[in-house]
Amino acid sequence: MSLTAKVLWAMGLGVILGLFINLGGFNTEGGFVNEYIVGGLFYVIGKMFITALKMLVVPLVFFSLISGVLGIGDIKKLGKVGIKSFGLYMLTTAIAIAVAIGLSTAVIPLFSSPSAQTTAAFTAKEAPALSAVFINIIPANVVEAFASGNMLQIIFFSILLGISLLMVGKKAESLAEGVEVLNEAMMKMVTIVMATAPVAVFALLAKAVSELGLDLLAQLAVYVVVLVAALLLHLFGTLMLILNFFTRLNPFILLEKIRDAQVFAFSTSSSNATIPVTLRSVTKRLGVDNSVASFTVPFGATINMDGTAIMQGVATVFIAHIYGVELGVTGYLTVILMSVLASIGTAGVPGVGLIMLSMVFVQVGLPVEGIGLILGVDRLLDMMRTAVNVTGDAVVSTVVAKSEEELDISLYQEREAGLVEVLEIDEEIEEEFAEVVHSVEAKS
Ligand code: ASP
């Protein structure tokens, strides 16, 4: 069984167990299941796994970006990759939110009626000013940027270092080789962490589902159904059309090969923590050269959030309707613009999309406490939109790579390419170990 299949099984079993705990009422505060199973065992396993993924992100992005820049070897081409991916990321986000608004304005009024009576409370967090977002791309202190995992700053510094190494020329060759080796080692580390995914994903899902407010889900059914429909439409419709339009490639292959990244994004609710898996899927399975993917993947995980923008569009229409506020064309255009901007400033971590939504609400004059209404169901929806977010990153990476002739089309088309077989990892590790032991023995 492939790793993906195992993880999918684990996901299913996790959901079933979570539902059993939730519906059976076993998750009572202070009870054994709550204390030791959900809040104990599942929490620890899930947290360890997410932390292991996060551990990989910074060194992986650093080494793969430097080797990517050295691989491109041409600063002009680097600029082209940057501009193209930025443009496509913004375009896909704008389309996503426009479709979401269109769908929800057509459907939501049919199934829910305005009722401003609400006891929900939500206090807005300060959203960063856009000017600060741009200034903050440059790290004042590189160590701090790495320590805090500030992705845009790390990208900025790594590219600059790569360019500088290019300028140093011949003298930097051995270092470049070293970086290449470290990049490969980091990729191996990704497969090692991925091998533990079945157990971790089971724990993550069992915990998440057992804690879900299922009754809330039914109360907010209109919001949830429209949002999920918009997410699916974007995933299977818009993104695949964009892929096919720009590359003429078969989108079903991408959908199949990006599943690992989607499952990891779904389980962790974090595009950022999923970077290692997305990068692996995009390079080893879809055939995007590291020179493009090393930039587009972490960049996308930071600034491109189609799923989040969709949630913001649907939520705005839903809350405006509940409060009986007419947004009008200008209001909707403002929502589109604000959500696109908000997605640049949103970090790819759990739940931030909802915080950034307050920025959109303030701008169009909707009551921020309205967000409190949808807070209870956001956990599950965050998982879904994060899976859409990383798919958008993969699609844009593939489109940019194809246009730059950095896409290995035969690898893209080969269905089995880059599959992580758990067994294969074991054998690989065993073989490598055997070799090391052998050489040590020979020496002694
Ligand atoms: N969890 C999302 C992500 O990491 C961001 C959000 O919408 O909250 O992509």
pLDDT tens profile 104-161:
999 988 887 766 555 555 665 555 566 777 788 899 999 999 999 888 899 999 999 9
Q: For residue range 152-191, list pLDDT tens digits in order.
A: 899 999 999 999 999 998 999 999 999 999 999 999 999 9
For 431, other C-beta atoms within 10 Å of its C-beta total 10
Return the HEC string of 58-87.
HHHHHHHHHHHHHHHCCHHHHHHHHHHHHH
- What's the token pair of residue 293? 């993917």
CA distance 57 to 267: 17
Amino acid at residue number 277 = V
Q: What is the pLDDT of residues 56-72, one digit of tens each?
A: 999 999 999 998 898 88
Evaluate if residue 78 carries a pLDDT over 70: yes
- Which of helix, strand or coil describes residue 19? helix
> With contact defined as beta carbons under 8 Å apart, do 160 and 168 qualify?
no
Rounded distance from Cα 102 to ligand 1 centre (Å): 22
Mean pLDDT, rounded, for 291-309: 93
CA-based max dimension of the chain: 81
Query: Band of the pLDDT at 3, cuts 50, 70, 90?
Result: confident
Using a 6 Å cutoff on CB, does residue 14 contact ligand 1? no
Residue 345 beta carbon below 6 angstroms from any ligand 1 atom? no
Domain ranges (residues) in the chain: 3-413, 417-444
Asked if residue 318 has pLDDT above 90, the reply is yes
pLDDT band with cut points at 50, 70 and 90 for residue 33 = confident
Q: Rounded distance, CA 384 to CA 267, Å?
A: 9
Q: Helix 43-72 crosses helix 151-168 at what angle (to 10 degrees)?
A: 30
Q: Spell out the CATH class of 3-413.
A: mainly alpha
> How long is the chain?
444
Question: Could you give the CA distance from residue 295 to residue 158 in angstroms, rounded to a whole number?
Answer: 10
Identity (one letter) of the amino acid at 10? A
Judge whether residue 444 has pLDDT over 80.
no
Residue among 382, 384, 390, 391 to mutate when testing ligand 1 (max atoms within 8 A of CB): 382
- The whole-model pTM stands at 0.87
Whether 423 has a pLDDT exceeding 50, the answer reads no
Q: How far is the CA of 271 from the centre of ligand 1 (A)?
A: 6
